[in-house]
Amino acid sequence: MSEVETATALWWAVVVSGIYHGLNPGMGWPLAVSSALMEQKQGNLYHALIALAVGHFIAMLAILLPFTMLITLVQWQREIQLFAAGLIICLGIYLLINRRHPRFLARVPPSRLGLWSFLAAMAHGAGLMLVPIYLGICGTLDTNVGHAAADELISGNLGIALLVAIVHTASMMLSGGVLAIGVYHWLGLKFLSRTWFNLDVVWALSLIVVGILAIVLTH
């Protein structure tokens, strides 16, 4: 597979992971629906979705930016990728063992959906899932990283980190927003309560799978 094909596949992974996060009720779209239905204001639905998007976007950057700085240590690139993969696998195993929803999320008032979205994404490891994809995209750059200046390397990868976070969050809000709008306008909360789907186990297993794939692809 050429570098162009690899980069294309990785960008599709950014989009698909965003759609996956958006479909997951744990990322907050049911809160947007309930907010609009309780207040009987359609505008509340879109305000809530925007707040969820902002919180998720900030959470993605909070995870990606430290790895952007670490990439300047070119000689340790493989070790950094293995470390990131190990973190993802450990988090996935932890979430499989501990099925309880983080209690601190319940203490965040509904008026602070942006903060809730940020904390939920951090607690569930949504940003960590993006790290191997992001590192892979950085690896496809046609740059002699061994001789590149550190500031140029950081600025280049910072731009990629921002773009990954933007594309991922947009994909997430597209899928989650479509679900939220559908439930609000046509299906209602009664349908949601009857057909609730829990992705906690699938989420934990997907973290482990992503981590394993990252390890395999670094060899």
| Residue 148 backbone zone (phi > 0: left; psi -120 to 50: alpha; other: beta) | beta
Residue 157 is given by DSSP the state H
**Helix 126-139 and helix 200-217, axial crossing angle in degrees, nearest 10:** 20
Lowest-pLDDT range of 42-51, 97-106, 144-153, 190-199: 144-153
Number of independent structural domains in the chain? 1
Write down the pLDDT at residue 72: 63
Q: Is the pLDDT of residue 86 over 50?
A: yes
Model confidence at 24, pLDDT cuts 50, 70, 90, reads confident
pTM of the model: 0.83
Q: How far apart are CA 162 and CA 187, in angstroms?
A: 35
Pairwise CA distance, residues 166 & 164, whole Å: 5
* Region 102-107 average pLDDT: 72
Average pLDDT, the chain: 82
Range of the domain at 110: 3-217
- pLDDT, one tens digit per residue, over 130-187 is 988 888 887 765 444 444 444 555 566 788 889 999 999 999 999 999 999 988 888 7
Of residues 75 and 128, the one with the higher pLDDT is 128
In sequence order, what are the residues at sequence separation of 6 or more whose Cβ sits closer than 8 angstroms to the Cβ of residue 102?
119, 120, 123
